Amino acid sequence: MHNLLLRQNRNYRLLFTGSALSNLADGIAALAFPWLATMISSNPMHIAIVAFATRLPWFLLALPAGVITDRADRQRLMVGADIIRLLLSLGVVGIILGSPALPLAEDSTLRLPMILALASVAFLIGTAEVFRDNTAQTVLPMLVEPKDLESANGQIWSIEQVMGSFVGPPVAGLLIALAVPAPFGFDALMFALSAWCLWLIAFPLRKEIRVPAGFLSEFRDGLRWIVGNTLILRLAVMLGILNALHTMTLTILVLFAQEVLLASAFGYGLLLTAGAAGGVLGGLVCPAIARRIGNGPSLLIALGIFPLPYLVIAGTSSSYLVATALFVEMLAALLWNVVTVSYRQRVIPNTLLGRVNGIYRFLGWGMMPLGALAGGWIVSVAEIDLGRETALRLPFLCAAFGCGLLLIYGALKLRFPRQGSD
């Protein structure tokens, strides 16, 4: 059935391919940006600034992006976002070529200016990503039948994990070893190919043609819908906390890998790849799990797993155990994503899908920059009294505690309608 959908639906195949290419670029950037930041500075707050800038657009722009997605030509919006990311990736190449030899000395006066320049480009790339990703989720129901949504989402999540986390990070490590600007030049090529695939999609005409009622009025329509749907609202807030905790640990993971695990860029890429393997497996098996046991039990299983990988990482210095923990974490994350994304796509009216998705993403992704700053702040403060290594472990303990609280909340508050009624 999975292969049949790809073979028979050309438009979905092009969307799938575009997602694969752009997520390969994202996966390379996910390693290349923080690794480049560590070549400029080892200060955890400097690393956090770059991570903060990357995720800040989800806080600032997710809401207007939702309204714009429902108003604009969704195809042009996605193509334009990829072209902008192409140009910005080339901009990073320019920053590297115009800088002194890396890594910079600890007393270099260029550390902060270069971190701020890198953060500025990361913010702009993140801005394009907000529009591209929000729009991509809203177009899937236009290209596949409702009965195929779980399978289509599972396939797309799987390819995003394969390319973004399985292939991308080790490729980034190899490219950095070849030349520091190489991963960013490669990203530019991937964004160009992704834009081309999206441009070739023959989108069906949108049937809902209406006179724009004004930005605030349209936003209120989306806000009214999500506030009236308690389950969707709770899922959005829970996702926000989960993502903040994940970003807090991911921000510090690059320093943890370098200083505790003694990993090279390629070794760090392999760690992220191990996590992606869990995502790949999750994309393949989680739709079947959700269909068999239902949405509610599936989410409780995911919530029950989330604290465990953080506890393992906090207590080990073994690369193998860290890799296993990241594998399990991504497997649980895919179970959460397949259930919640498919449910949203099914119950949110298409005329409101962009706006409600934007509000959902604002709540679900808007807390990520705060998580990034929290990770850098925790390490900076804790290392004064606890030492560097203990401080690097502390964000993982905090994340485990937070996920434990979410498990309790989910067990008490998450109630899905019967499977046949939505």
Q: Which amino acid makes up residue 326? A: L
386 is a domain residue: yes
- DSSP-derived letter for residue 18 is H
Burial code (b: 16+ CB inside 10 Å, e: under 16) for 158-182 equals bbbbbbbbbbbbbbbbebbeeebbb
Integer Cα distance of 161 and 23 in angstroms: 8
Q: Say if residue 379's pLDDT is above 90.
A: yes
207 is a domain residue: no
Integer Cα distance of 305 and 404 in angstroms: 9
- DSSP-derived letter for residue 419 is G
Q: Say if residue 2's pLDDT is above 70.
A: no
pLDDT tens digit sequence for 156-197:
877 887 788 778 888 998 899 899 999 999 999 999 999 999
What's the average model confidence in pLDDT over 257-270?
91
CA distances from 143 to 6, 14, 158, 233, 381 (A): 12, 10, 18, 26, 50
CA distances from 269 to 52, 258, 349, 422 (A): 21, 12, 40, 40
Residue closest to 327 by CA, chosen among 282, 403, 274, 271: 274
Integer Cα distance of 171 and 31 in angstroms: 9
Domain that holds residue 83: 2-199+214-421
208 is a domain residue: no
Provide the CATH number for the domain around residue 407.
1.20.1250.20
pLDDT tens digit sequence for 60-107:
887 777 677 777 778 888 999 999 999 999 999 998 988 887 888 877
* Banded pLDDT at 422 (limits 50, 70, 90): very low
205 is a domain residue: no
Q: Say if residue 243's pLDDT is above 80.
A: yes
Integer Cα distance of 239 and 72 in angstroms: 27
Integer Cα distance of 41 and 45 in angstroms: 9
Burial code (b: 16+ CB inside 10 Å, e: under 16) for 190-226 equals bbbbbbebbeebeeeeeeeeeeeeeeeebbebbbebb
The two tokens of residue 145 are 């039948």
H-only helix segments in 72-148: 74-97, 111-143
Which element (helix H / strand E) includes 149?
helix 149-161
243 is a domain residue: yes
Residue closest to 246 by CA, chosen among 143, 333, 341, 172: 333
Q: Cα angle at 194 between 192 and 198, to 5 degrees?
A: 120
pLDDT tens digit sequence for 284-326:
888 888 888 888 899 999 999 999 999 999 999 999 999 999 9
Domain count for the chain, please give it.
1
pLDDT tens digit sequence for 385-419:
999 999 999 999 999 999 999 999 999 988 877 65
Integer Cα distance of 362 and 9 in angstroms: 31
Regarding predicted confidence, which is higher, 165 or 262?
A: 262
Residue closest to 133 by CA, chosen among 242, 57, 232, 222: 57
- DSSP-derived letter for residue 261 is S
Torsion (CA) 261, 264, 270, 272 in degrees, nearest 10: 70
Question: How confident is the model at residue 296, as a pLDDT?
Answer: 86
